[in-house]
Amino acid sequence: MVRKFFDIIANNAVPAVFILISAFAIPLSGFSASYLVQELLTRIGRNSFLILSLLIPIMAGMGLNFGMVLGAMAGQIGLLFICDWGIVGIPGMVLACLIGTPIAIILGIFCGHILNRAKGREMVTSYILGFFINGVYQMTVLYLMGWIIPITNPNLLLSRGYGVRNAVSLSGIRAVLDNLIPTVITNPEGAKQFLNVNGAGSFFLIQLPFFDGTIRIPLATFIIIALFCVFIVWFRKTKLGQDMRAIGQSQSVADSAGIPVNRTRIIAIVISTVLACYGQIIYLQNMGTLNTYNSHDQAGMFSIAALLIGGASVSKASITNVFVGVILFHLMFIVAPMAGKNLIGEAQIGEYFRVFVSYGIIAIALVLHAWKRNREREAARRSLRGGNGGKA
Amino acid sequence: MSANNNAPLLQLEHIGKEYYGNRVLSDISFSIEAGEILGLVGENGAGKSTLLNILFGMPVIASTGGYEGNLYLDGKPVHFTSPNQALSAGLGMVHQEFSLIPGFTATENILLNREVLNGSLMSYVFSDRVSTLDRDAMRHRAEAAINTLGVHISPDMTVSEMPVGYKQFIEIAREIDRKNTRLLFLDEPTAVLTEQEAEILLIALKKLSKQGIAIVFISHRLSEVKELCSRILVLRDGTLVTDVPAKTLTTREMASLVVGRESSKKEEAVEVEIPEQPVEEENINETLGTTTLSKKKKKKKPALKVEHLWVDMPGETVRDVSFEVQKGEIFGIGGLSGHGKLGIPNGIMGLYPAGGKVKLFGKKLTLNKPRAALSRKMAFVSEDRRGVGLLLDEPLDWNITFTAMQTQGRFLFGIPYIFQMRNELAMAKETKKFIESLSIKCTGPSQKAGELSGGNQQKVCLAKAFVLRPDILLICEPTRGIDIGAKALVLDTLKEYNRENGTTIIITSSELEELRSVCDRVAIVDDGEIVGILPASRPAEEFGMLMMGEKMRVALEYTE
């Protein structure tokens, strides 16, 4: 009984701590409810897709896919091309996805092959692999683009004539997906104001009398995320999903049952990489600017931190974990700087806190994972001892 | 299938196999009819697993040069080159260790990689792997397979929550579910079961054989083999020594066939050297007022007393072991591999998590700390010579003096705890002494241990233990992987060391004959427990009976 209770606490310790911190920080920050909700909705739309792309490798027992930055880089290359060609709006996004997909597939196959040679050490391998591919990406973008790879738009290129600028404006596709089906929730009063400002455009106006403030909902993005969730639920029910679960629990058993272990693991990584590519494109259309040399770096680390905060572990993660995680993680992001400022008069403290938190949480999750696995192994051994074995 | 109705289901003709010039199987011929239950018994290394590897087309066979002889299935010659071929031809295998996925339900495990799929458009575009699973149909099939066995297990139960016995049934159900399985191999299926579970299993197997499935039952529990099987095959040293109906053999005869030593050897073994009894201990007892007891019955303080020891050594779990070893005795621990005999010395030395009570000359020994054991003048020669026993990349003198240096502070000069250096001269001198006395073949004390042959490495391990001047010497598998000449030398060295120094020696070995030739008494371990301790002079088949799981506890007091 006590052990069971302890297990529940241990399994949900991370989300519980974050809820507790938020409970203190939200009143301290002094933000209004509608501001918080608006910010959260934007960030859920921005980040969920990236985090969801982590689920499938976890299912296949490959741990947290730090290699998702490979997909993010593929997506950014797609975006650079559409910026150069000046293709805007939804067609631009679709084209960026189309360009990114083959690159992500190739990188995913490459990553999968390498991870198959580093079984049991997938996480650290994919992490380092991320650095390696980052080097290749930087060489491509900094030297080859505009020299060998034709980039003609002078706004993209560095003044020396080749290499891409550090910051690229994605004004052509900024928020096109978020605003594809513009939706606003407000109260009748706010509705009047809103219409005065924006004119009677093609808005879905949802009026809630009790609602205080005005928030916009990135409905199209949410629909895509919902479709993705449906995909994952369906995927779990397929033979391929079942095989991945089997491999995730015991590679040797799966192998002896005739499941093609290595191939299946590569498929898992390819799916994850391609989805991360799309995730990064969705993320950047919301941001509106591409930080050519840094955007992808943060994508991996923050997505993984968010997933872990949602209560996932290295070996087990669900869709619920994704959304709990993205809400708690970003709630922290939003309120921590303001709370820090109001508390100590120092906004920096919040910034420190969130960097500290995202790295710290990954470290804790890895330690917890090792600790749990040892405990399970210990329990398995205990059951082997007969007679008086248990008590000593 | 029906092409040749009177041909046996499976026939083996003159099957033989060599690994790198080392013959492990020769001229095995037998056949199995449909619905027949065959018992296959033999010691470790008798060739059982090689035979299975050949039958199942394991890649290891082809990569080491294939095998001799022919296999016939339904009268047609077959030659499997991969396990999948054997499986699709109707051979099924239930392994000794479970190959189940713990987090999956019974259904998911039984139908692993044979899931029932819903047809979908996607599967035409991509492959079958994107079709969803038909859970209901899967459940029905799993239920049907479980019911054939005559047990009641919910198909929705997760394997990790099942008692061990259930897991075995799930494994068998998995093989039965394969529609074409006609011949089922079970490798030690009852090893992990309780007696009742084993009984249910035997009943289930009989039921299967009535349905026409032939079964090859591999077990070391002779009474089960006798009860279940219609025919018994005994393998020994790679040859088939018996193929007779089960009724014609008693378990005792079976045991002696398995161990296979002629009774003529018994006589020479009777002449066991009896170590001198330490006199001072008698005096202790007299002062305690036990003089009234007859001299023969009096209690002596044993050199090593082990009570309810358990050791958590992977693959060699010790469950509950108690025994005493007298001073100056050579005590043997034997038994089949995987039953925990290696766990006992490893646990006493603190190399694996252990519990229970161990007393050394009447004083309690701290477990789980190798240092504690070493500082009580115990020395250990590991079965893992290259891993635990030696520093392969270091010279011989380092290897031999290393433990003494670390635990006893010898071969050092300088000020203890502050500044100490190796005394290379003393090290070399000591090493030279051992190179001579054990005739270790090497270029000198500075040769690297990794460059020596197996036998010489083993001698270095012994020297390393002797340098400690131990009161008790624990040795695991002293002759594993070394040639015959070196074997005799190693064993003679041990005997001599025991005679000269009165050191208590505990030898753990898989080779019963070796134990019987060196030891005073031999304990046989089965399933993590000692099933009997016999004087080495007893006939080999008595040891064989113990090893084969005949639960007869013959705890003979050596002092009587």
CA A357 to CA A127: how far, in whole Å?
A: 19
The pLDDT score that the predictor gives to residue A139 is 93
With bands split at pLDDT 50, 70 and 90, how would you rate the model's confidence at B248?
A: confident
B219 touches chain A (CB under 8 A): no
Six token digits for residue B149:
């066995």
The pLDDT score that the predictor gives to residue B59 is 81
CA A223 to CA A44: how far, in whole Å?
A: 12
**Residues sharing a CB contact under 8 Å with residue A14, sequence separation 6 or more, in sequence order:** A308, A309, A311, A361, A364, A365
Indicate the range of A130-144, A236-250, B223-237 predicted with least confidence: B223-237
B312/A388 CB distance under 8 A: no
The torsion of the CA quartet B276, B279, B284, B286, rounded to 10 degrees, works out to 110
The torsion of the CA quartet A127, A132, A137, A142, rounded to 10 degrees, works out to 130
Closest CA–CA distance from residue B159 to any residue of chain A (Å): 12
Could you tell me how many residues make up chain A? 392
B118 touches chain A (CB under 8 A): no
In a shared domain, residues B82 and B103: no
The pLDDT score that the predictor gives to residue A136 is 94
Residue B267 falls within a domain, yes or no? no
Considering B119, B145, B179, which residue would you say is the last residue of a domain? B179
H or E, element range at B90: none
CA A361 to CA A382: how far, in whole Å?
A: 31
Could you tell me how many residues make up chain B? 560
A250/B133 CB distance under 8 A: no
The label of the residue with tokens 């929550």 reads B161
pLDDT per position as a tens digit, B438-467: 888 888 888 888 888 878 888 899 899 999
Question: Is pLDDT of A29 > 80?
Answer: yes
Is B516 within 8 Å of B540 (Cβ atoms)? Answer: yes
Six token digits for residue B143:
């239920």
A253/B100 CB distance under 8 A: yes
The DSSP result for B132-162, as a single string, is BB-HHHHHHHHHHHHHHTT----TT-BGGGS
A385/B310 CB distance under 8 A: yes
A231 touches chain B (CB under 8 A): no
Nearest to B89 by CA among B117, B124, B59, B57: B57
* Share of residues in chain B with pLDDT > 90 (%): 10
Is B24 within 8 Å of B50 (Cβ atoms)? Answer: yes
B129/A239 CB distance under 8 A: yes
Q: Which residues pair with B164 in a beta bridge?
A: none
Buried b (16+ CB within 10 A) or exposed e, B391-420: eeeebbbbbbbbbbbebbebbbeeeeeeee
B117/A258 CB distance under 8 A: no
A246/B353 CB distance under 8 A: no
The pLDDT score that the predictor gives to residue B1 is 43
With bands split at pLDDT 50, 70 and 90, how would you rate the model's confidence at B418?
A: confident
What letter would DSSP give residue B365?
P
Q: For A10, left (φ over 0), alpha (ψ -120 to 50), or beta? A: alpha
Question: Is pLDDT of A135 > 70?
Answer: yes
Nearest to A310 by CA among A71, A40, A17, A66: A17
Q: Where are the alpha helices (DSSP H) in B263-369?
A: 264-270, 279-287, 343-348
The pLDDT score that the predictor gives to residue B285 is 41
Closest CA–CA distance from residue B113 to any residue of chain A (Å): 6
Give contacts of B99 with chain A, Cβ < 8 Å.
250, 252-253, 256-257
**Residues sharing a CB contact under 8 Å with residue A220, sequence separation 6 or more, in sequence order:** A177, A178, A179, A180, A181
Indicate the range of A140-144, A146-150, A240-244 predicted with least confidence: A146-150
Nearest to A66 by CA among A132, A137, A151: A132
Closest CA–CA distance from residue A303 to any residue of chain B (Å): 27
The torsion of the CA quartet B41, B47, B52, B53, rounded to 10 degrees, works out to 160
CA B29 to CA B330: how far, in whole Å?
A: 42
Closest CA–CA distance from residue A389 to any residue of chain B (Å): 6
pLDDT per position as a tens digit, B344-395: 999 999 888 888 889 988 888 888 888 888 888 899 998 888 888 888 888 8
pLDDT per position as a tens digit, B487-526: 888 888 889 889 888 889 999 988 888 888 889 999 988 8
With bands split at pLDDT 50, 70 and 90, how would you rate the model's confidence at B287?
A: very low
Closest CA–CA distance from residue A8 to any residue of chain B (Å): 18
In a shared domain, residues B132 and B200: no
Q: For residue B132, what is the nearest residue in chain A, using CA coordinates? A: A238
Residue B294 falls within a domain, yes or no? no
**Residues sharing a CB contact under 8 Å with residue B65, sequence separation 6 or more, in sequence order:** B18
Q: Which residues pair with A217 in a beta bridge?
A: A183
Kindly tell me the sign of the dihedral angle through the C-alpha atoms of A155, A157, A160, A161: negative
Give contacts of B353 with chain A, Cβ < 8 Å.
381
Arithmetic mean of pLDDT, B30-48: 85
* Domain of residue B241, CATH code: 3.40.50.300
Residue B289 falls within a domain, yes or no? no
B112/A253 CB distance under 8 A: yes
Give contacts of A380 with chain B, Cβ < 8 Å.
none
Indicate the range of A16-30, B56-70, B285-299 predicted with least confidence: B285-299
The label of the residue with tokens 């492990």 reads B24
CA B370 to CA B350: how far, in whole Å?
A: 5
A150 touches chain B (CB under 8 A): no
Q: For residue A260, what is the nearest residue in chain B, using CA coordinates? A: B113
With bands split at pLDDT 50, 70 and 90, how would you rate the model's confidence at A241?
A: very high
- C-alpha A296: how far from chain center: 11
In a shared domain, residues B220 and B86: yes
E strands, B354-471, in order: 354-360, 363-364, 378-381, 412-415, 419-422
Domains and CATH numbers, chain A: 33-308 (1.10.3470)
Residue B1 falls within a domain, yes or no? no
Six token digits for residue B221:
């529990």
Closest CA–CA distance from residue B312 to any residue of chain A (Å): 7
In a shared domain, residues B83 and B120: no
With bands split at pLDDT 50, 70 and 90, how would you rate the model's confidence at B290?
A: very low
Residue B277 falls within a domain, yes or no? no
A239/B133 CB distance under 8 A: yes
* Count of domains for chain B: 3
With bands split at pLDDT 50, 70 and 90, how would you rate the model's confidence at A391?
A: very low
Nearest to B559 by CA among B293, B211, B221: B293
CA distances (Å), A116 to each of A66, A252, A264, B347, B555, in order?
15, 14, 10, 36, 53
| Other CB atoms within 10 A of residue B552 CB | 9
Six token digits for residue B260:
């296979």
Arithmetic mean of pLDDT, A286-298: 89
Q: Which of B112, B121, B160 to mutate to test the interface with A (most CBs of A within 10 A)?
A: B112
* Share of residues in chain A with pLDDT > 70 (%): 93
Give contacts of A253 with chain B, Cβ < 8 Å.
99-101, 112
B104/A381 CB distance under 8 A: no
The backbone torsions φ and ψ at residue B37, rounded to the nearest 5 degrees and listed phi first, read -110, 120
The pLDDT score that the predictor gives to residue B116 is 87
Q: So what's the ipTM on this one?
A: 0.81
The pLDDT score that the predictor gives to residue B345 is 92
Residue type, A170: L
In a shared domain, residues B455 and B404: yes
pLDDT per position as a tens digit, A53-112: 999 999 999 989 998 999 999 999 999 999 999 999 999 999 999 999 999 999 999 999
Which of B133, B312, B320 faces A237 most closely, judged by CB atoms? Answer: B133
The pLDDT score that the predictor gives to residue B501 is 87
H or E, element range at A100: helix A89-116
Give contacts of B320 with chain A, Cβ < 8 Å.
386-389
B115 touches chain A (CB under 8 A): yes
Question: Is pLDDT of B297 > 80?
Answer: no
CA A268 to CA B355: how far, in whole Å?
A: 44
With bands split at pLDDT 50, 70 and 90, how would you rate the model's confidence at B5?
A: low
* B292: Cα within 13 Å, side-chain hemisphere: 2
Arithmetic mean of pLDDT, B151-164: 85
The pLDDT score that the predictor gives to residue B226 is 85
CA B95 to CA B98: how far, in whole Å?
A: 6
The pLDDT score that the predictor gives to residue A379 is 73
Closest CA–CA distance from residue A377 to any residue of chain B (Å): 11
With bands split at pLDDT 50, 70 and 90, how would you rate the model's confidence at A382?
A: low
Six token digits for residue B513:
């004959």
Residue B539 falls within a domain, yes or no? yes
Q: Which residues pair with A157 in a beta bridge?
A: A164
Q: For residue A380, what is the nearest residue in chain B, using CA coordinates? A: B160
pLDDT per position as a tens digit, B174-194: 888 887 888 899 888 877 777
E strands, B210-286, in order: 214-218, 231-236, 239-245
Give contacts of A254 with chain B, Cβ < 8 Å.
101, 112-113
User: Could you tell me the end-to-end alpha-carbon distance of chain B, in angstroms, rounded to an integer?
Assistant: 64
In a shared domain, residues B342 and B411: yes
Is A114 within 8 Å of A129 (Cβ atoms)? Answer: yes
In a shared domain, residues B167 and B240: no
With bands split at pLDDT 50, 70 and 90, how would you rate the model's confidence at A390?
A: very low
pLDDT: which is higher, A48 or A358: A48
SS3 assignment, position A238: strand
Arithmetic mean of pLDDT, B52-58: 86
In a shared domain, residues B81 and B106: no
Is B40 within 8 Å of B216 (Cβ atoms)? Answer: yes
**Residues sharing a CB contact under 8 Å with residue B21, sequence separation 6 or more, in sequence order:** none
Residue B36 falls within a domain, yes or no? yes
SS3 assignment, position B412: strand
Question: Is pLDDT of B266 > 60?
Answer: no
H or E, element range at B259: helix B251-259
B129/A240 CB distance under 8 A: yes
With bands split at pLDDT 50, 70 and 90, how would you rate the model's confidence at B555?
A: very low
With bands split at pLDDT 50, 70 and 90, how would you rate the model's confidence at B302?
A: confident
Residue B156 falls within a domain, yes or no? yes
E strands, A59-207, in order: 167-169, 182-186, 204-207
Q: Which residues pair with B473 in a beta bridge?
A: B379, B505
B319/A245 CB distance under 8 A: no
Q: Which residues pair with A183 in a beta bridge?
A: A204, A217
Residue type, A323: F
The pLDDT score that the predictor gives to residue B292 is 38
Give contacts of A385 with chain B, Cβ < 8 Å.
310, 312, 317, 319
Give contacts of B108 with chain A, Cβ < 8 Å.
242, 246
The pLDDT score that the predictor gives to residue A201 is 61
In a shared domain, residues B325 and B411: yes
With bands split at pLDDT 50, 70 and 90, how would you rate the model's confidence at B3?
A: very low
Give the structural domain span for B219.
Answer: 10-90+181-260
Question: Is pLDDT of B277 > 60?
Answer: no
Which of B99, B308, B356 faces A256 most closely, judged by CB atoms? Answer: B99
CA B114 to CA B130: how far, in whole Å?
A: 14
Pairing of strands B10-19, B68-73: antiparallel
Considering B239, B260, B281, which residue would you say is the last residue of a domain? B260
The backbone torsions φ and ψ at residue B239, rounded to the nearest 5 degrees and listed phi first, read -120, 155
Angle at B222 between CA B217 and CA B227, to 5 degrees: 70
The pLDDT score that the predictor gives to residue B388 is 84
The label of the residue with tokens 């011949």 reads B183
Mean pLDDT of chain B: 81
In a shared domain, residues B236 and B210: yes
Closest CA–CA distance from residue B530 to any residue of chain A (Å): 13
B310/A392 CB distance under 8 A: yes
In a shared domain, residues B311 and B425: yes
Mean pLDDT of chain A: 86
The pLDDT score that the predictor gives to residue A286 is 92
CA A249 to CA A46: how far, in whole Å?
A: 32
CA B495 to CA B198: how far, in whole Å?
A: 42
In a shared domain, residues B350 and B362: yes
CA B413 to CA B439: how far, in whole Å?
A: 29
The pLDDT score that the predictor gives to residue B240 is 87
